[in-house]
Amino acid sequence: MSGFAAAPEQADNARRPVAGVLHTAGLIVLVIVWAYVGLHAANQMRGDSMPVGGSKILLYMPTFVFEWILFAYIAIGLRRRGIPMREITGRLSTGGMELLRDIGLAVLFWPTAIVILAGVAYALHISSKLQASVKFLLPQSPAEMAAWVLLSVTAGICEETIFRGYLQRQFIAWTGSASAGVLLSAALFGAGHMYQGARQTVLIGVYGVLFGILAETRRSLRPGMIAHAWQDTFSGIAGSLLAKRLPS
């Protein structure tokens, strides 16, 4: 059968926790602490303390390192229980029709998500002025853009593994509900981006719901990883070009 339908044994496995309560609680605490640190740092950077002409690469590196630390935290926790990473990522084989299918799903997901998020942004009254409040993060130089792409790929791999792979799996197992698992992991995903402001946090939470539905439907994180990495790359570079036209 196609990747959209899971066999009964696979469905049962998908409802089993892959780690203990303490391990998951530790990850949640790390996510919340990092979100708070990001919020505090963003508030400072929006002020006059942000050095003019300073390299944005120094801003990207802590996030890059921390996301891989969380990825390693999950990988080590799974290994200690004798559980392979594919248990939460799904099949990530590199060849054949499965790869093409996942690329196609990512291509279809991206514009669909943009339309939905545009409607949510309109409902939340998220204006271009509000979105410009995070333009301090956008890359400017070629070196910064290259670093941004690397950060975007990292976000695609690590954040999908953290939120849609591990946390969503845990929440589904504990609540016995796929809907609850998707919503809870999406709420944490949004909270992890609260440095962008309250309304943007809600918008990103909705984005997390869409990624969660994609992961739960496909039983693989690969389409979400591709779409996530591409969206972050595109939004950063396109946003940088547009920000130059916005008033300071």
Least confident of 11-20, 29-38, 79-88, 152-161: 11-20
Where along the chain do its domains lie? 8-89+99-243
**Mean pLDDT over residues 94-118, rounded?**
90
- The CA distance from 204 to 190, in Å, is 5
Tokens 């605490």, located at residue: 29
Residues 133-145 have pLDDT tens digits of 567 788 888 999 9
Q: 47 is written with which tokens?
A: 């002020």
Residues 20-55 have pLDDT tens digits of 999 999 999 999 999 998 888 777 766 544 444 567
Least confident of 29-33, 127-131, 156-160, 196-200: 127-131
For the entire predicted model, the pTM comes to 0.88
- What three-state secondary structure class fits 220? strand
Residue 181's CB is within 10 A of a number of other CB atoms, namely 24
Nearest in space to 108 (alpha carbons), one of 227, 221, 205: 227
Q: Are 15 and 173 in contact (CB under 8 A)?
A: yes
Q: Are 93 and 99 in contact (CB under 8 A)?
A: yes
Residue 212 makes CB contacts below 8 A (sequence gap 6+) with 163, 164, 168, 181, 182, 183, 185, 186
